[in-house]
Amino acid sequence: MTWGLTLPGVSGLTWQQLDALDLGLLETAADGWGQASGRADASRTRVDNEMVDVLKKSQEGDAERAAVRRLRQLSQNFQYVYMQCGMARTSLNGLAAELRAPQKQLREVLDEARERKFTVKPDGSVEYPAAGKGEGGQPPPGGSSGAAGVPHHDAQGDRQPGRHSR
CATH number, position 73: 1.10.287
Note down the domain range covering 79. 15-115
Number of structural domains (the chain) is 2
108, 125: one domain: no
pLDDT of residue 166: 34
Q: Is residue 122 situated within a structural domain?
A: yes
- Position 128 scores a pLDDT of 81
Is residue 107 assigned to a domain? yes
Q: What is the pLDDT of residue 157?
A: 40
- Residue at 27 is within a domain: yes
Write down the pLDDT at residue 158.
40
Task: Quote the pLDDT of residue 151.
Answer: 41
Q: Flag whether 95 is in a domain.
A: yes
Domain boundary among 78, 95, 115: 115
pLDDT digits (tens), the chain, 166 positions = 344 455 555 568 899 999 999 999 999 999 999 999 999 999 999 999 999 988 988 889 999 999 999 999 999 999 999 999 999 999 999 999 999 999 999 999 999 999 988 999 988 888 888 777 767 776 666 666 665 544 443 333 443 433 333 3
Same domain flag for 107 and 130: no
Instruction: For residue 138, list its beta bridge partners.
Output: none
- Which one, of 125, 122, 141, lies nearest residue 133 by Cα? 141
**Which of 9-21 are b and which e, b meaning 16 or more Cβ less than 10 Å from the residue's Cβ?**
ebeeeebeebeee
Q: Tell whether 108 and 126 lie within a shared domain.
A: no
User: Is 46 in the same domain as 110?
Assistant: yes
Do both 87 and 108 map to the same domain? yes
